[in-house]
């Protein structure tokens, strides 16, 4: 069960109170939601992973710990990335990265991927959350540091393979949500074909407002972003019961790997 305090934490993290860090892309300035949903520990499922693979030791992580980072990425089904050059490591964010991203505890050492079309290009950043799902908050790499010291590559399906295999390591077992639920880009697809919330998933709070396509995160194509009708706060991403959604429908808003969602009552489209 999710406590009342936990419900409030989910709502606060997923339904941001103000935008932050305008980031320019081809279409102009973007206001990325202040809530970094991918790093919210709203789910109870990922705590075992956090203890086992989140490194706090300043020394170099073990080969098995890095293998876990790779395996979690592949288990998250990160298909939207396609073929990219990658630097994967366990680290905090650098000063330049922090100047572009507002992420809780940026100095914390976590599985972190820098991705670019080729070495030397500006990089995107993905960080793993406590649930074991990777969160990739940028739709543009403008202002980010160039990719250096590549140590892996993703294929056309987003599957990550290191340039040099990690000898003496073993495969990391999938987390329970990865085994149980269909998921894409780290996000659980919450609805059945009949438009019912999948068994084992839960709503923790209800919000309402209009929604539209154009999520500002790397998410499945079915995702939308929604605007609170009272505060104008953006919640992103949300997954409507049906793609051709309309007023009165419900969307489920959540973070990568989380099994707890905001129940969003859609009041219109934008």
pTM: 0.80
**DSSP string of 127-176?**
EE-TTS-EE---S--TTPPBP-S--EEE-TT--EEESS--TT--PPPPPH
- pLDDT per residue as tens, the chain (270 positions): 434 444 444 444 443 322 322 222 322 223 223 333 333 333 444 443 433 344 444 445 799 999 999 999 999 999 999 999 999 999 999 999 999 988 888 999 999 999 999 999 999 999 999 999 999 987 788 999 999 999 999 999 999 999 999 999 999 999 999 999 999 999 999 999 999 999 999 999 999 999 999 888 888 888 999 999 999 999 999 999 999 999 999 999 999 999 999 999 999 999
Residue 80 backbone dihedrals phi, psi, to 5 degrees: -70, -15
Domain spans of the chain, in order of start: 19-182, 184-269
List the beta bridge partners of residue 22.
Answer: none
β 260-269/202-213 pair status: parallel
- Which pLDDT value is given to residue 216? 80
As a whole number of angstroms, the distance between CA 20 and CA 234 comes to: 11
Cβ neighbors of 99 (< 8 A, separation 6 or more) are: 143
pLDDT of residue 139: 72
């Amino acid at each position: 069960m999710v406590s009342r305090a936990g419900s409030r934490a989910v709502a606060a993290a997923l339904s941001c109170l103000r935008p932050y860090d305008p980031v320019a892309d081809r279409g102009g300035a973007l206001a990325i939601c202040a809530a970094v949903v991918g790093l919210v520990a709203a789910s109870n499922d990922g705590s075992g992973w956090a203890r086992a693979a989140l490194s706090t030791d300043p020394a170099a992580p073990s080969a098995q710990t890095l293998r876990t980072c790779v395996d979690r990425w592949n288990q998250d089904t990160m298909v939207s990335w396609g073929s990219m050059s990658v630097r994967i490591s366990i680290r905090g964010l650098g000063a330049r990265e922090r100047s572009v991203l507002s992420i809780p505890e940026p100095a914390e050492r976590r599985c972190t991927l820098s991705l670019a079309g080729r070495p030397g290009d500006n990089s995107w950043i993905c960080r793993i959350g406590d649930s074991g799902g990777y969160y990739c908050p940028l739709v543009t790499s403008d202002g980010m540091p160039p990719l250096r010291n590549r140590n892996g590559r993703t294929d056309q399906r987003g599957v990550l393979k290191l340039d040099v295999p990690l000898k003496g390591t073993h495969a990391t077992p999938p987390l329970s949500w990865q085994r149980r639920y269909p998921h894409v880009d780290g996000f659980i697809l919450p609805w059945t074909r009949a438009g019912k919330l999948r068994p084992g998933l839960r709503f923790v709070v209800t919000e309402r407002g209009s929604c539209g396509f154009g999520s500002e995160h790397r998410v499945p194509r079915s995702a939308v972003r929604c605007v609170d009708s009272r505060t104008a706060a953006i919640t992103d991403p949300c997954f409507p019961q049906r793609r051709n959604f309309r007023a009165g429908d419900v969307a489920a808003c959540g973070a990568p790997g989380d099994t707890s969602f905001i129940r969003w009552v859609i009041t219109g489209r934008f």
